[in-house]
Amino acid sequence: MLDLAGRIEVLETFGNELSRDIEAIENGESNSLSEVIQAAKVNNGWFSEEFTLHALKEWSTALQKDGLEDWMSNYDGLNHSSPKAIGLVLAGNIPLVGMHDIISTFITGHRAIIKPSSQDLPLTMEVLRRFKGLDSIPADAFTIQPAKLQGFDAVIATGSGNTARYFNHYFGSYPSIIRKNRTSVAVLSGEETREELSLLMDDVFTYFGLGCRNVTKVFLPTDFEPDRLFQASLKYERLLDNNKYVNNFLYHKTLLAMQQSSILENGLFTLCESRELFSAVSVLNYSRYEKQEVLDQEISAKLDDIQCVVGRGNTEFGKAQKPRLMDYSDGKDTVDFLLSLAV
């Protein structure tokens, strides 16, 4: 059984292998990873090569010794002798979205029984294949159960609001973390620089806006000029090369117009005045505000639906889709939960 230092070494080796293969791909070389990236795109049209590489790069950077040790320095009991079987029901809305749960389970010394999402199957299977090929990793560290999870002691499951209700019913008698849909918002003061608004567009458009950390709603001061957002978004005109994105843009723009919603658009995305936090792909909701304290109360009342708040004094512009290892989904400390099972 690997101790913490051994588990960190395995993860660092994995991260270094990813870095080498990514560098080769960017130099125009083909390898097993480039083949899987193409397979992922065929399997799910939202998994473009650009955004899949973005996810892989983020993980190759995160899985370095210093960062892993810093992450684990916040916890005790990491060299326990009570490994449990953790059922992982993974989401598939963006590339490798379930990776954090896989890594957390492994680094805390537990075994993962994984039900991957069909939307992210090629990438998940490649990650697990690479893990299993590493020296010294236990043979039972990762098990795939594509149908019904069995033989688990605890569960971490991620899905929509509807599936979360099902998960709570089905896994209710087990220790569990159940996650539902969330989204992210941005609060602008009107004093943002061009660079900050450009970075905000990364928070909006990375992964086509499909992640829970993507900004789908912006709160604007009353005198904010929407054209500033449209100008900042132009660097993402390449999204119009994706047919799925274009179809969404045309469909939702037409639908909102038919509903007589208050909208503006620039041929790339639609800005819709709405109190709703969640928006469709290619749509960014917005509301105006006058008093910061009133806005703070409104956001506080909706925190159960919000993954992160972007803006000065909150999550930095451009960092929403670059979470740290200790930035846990739904604010629930996955590692703390996993370590509690080993007592």
**Domains present along the chain, CATH in parentheses:** 4-181 (3.40.605.10), 183-310 (3.40.309.10)
Pairing label, strands 270-273, 263-265:
antiparallel
In 188-282, beta strands by DSSP E: 215-221, 263-265, 270-273
Cα 112 from Cα 109, distance rounded (Å): 10
Pick from 105, 144, 87, 152: which is nearest to 7 by CA? 105
For residue 75, the SS3 value is: coil
Cα 24 from Cα 131, distance rounded (Å): 20
Q: Give me the pLDDT at residue 200, please.
A: 98
End-to-end Cα distance, the chain = 17
Per-residue pLDDT in tens (0 to 9) along the chain, 343 residues: 789 999 999 999 999 999 999 999 999 999 999 999 999 999 999 999 999 999 999 999 999 999 999 999 999 999 998 999 999 999 999 999 999 999 999 999 999 999 999 999 999 999 999 999 988 898 889 999 988 899 999 999 999 888 888 899 889 899 999 999 999 999 999 999 999 999 999 999 999 999 999 999 999 999 999 999 999 999 999 999 999 999 999 999 999 999 999 999 999 999 999 999 999 999 999 999 999 999 999 999 999 999 999 999 999 999 999 999 999 999 999 999 999 998 7
Cα 223 from Cα 290, distance rounded (Å): 9
Q: Per the confidence metrics, is the pTM higher than 0.85? A: yes
Q: Give me the pLDDT at residue 172, please.
A: 87
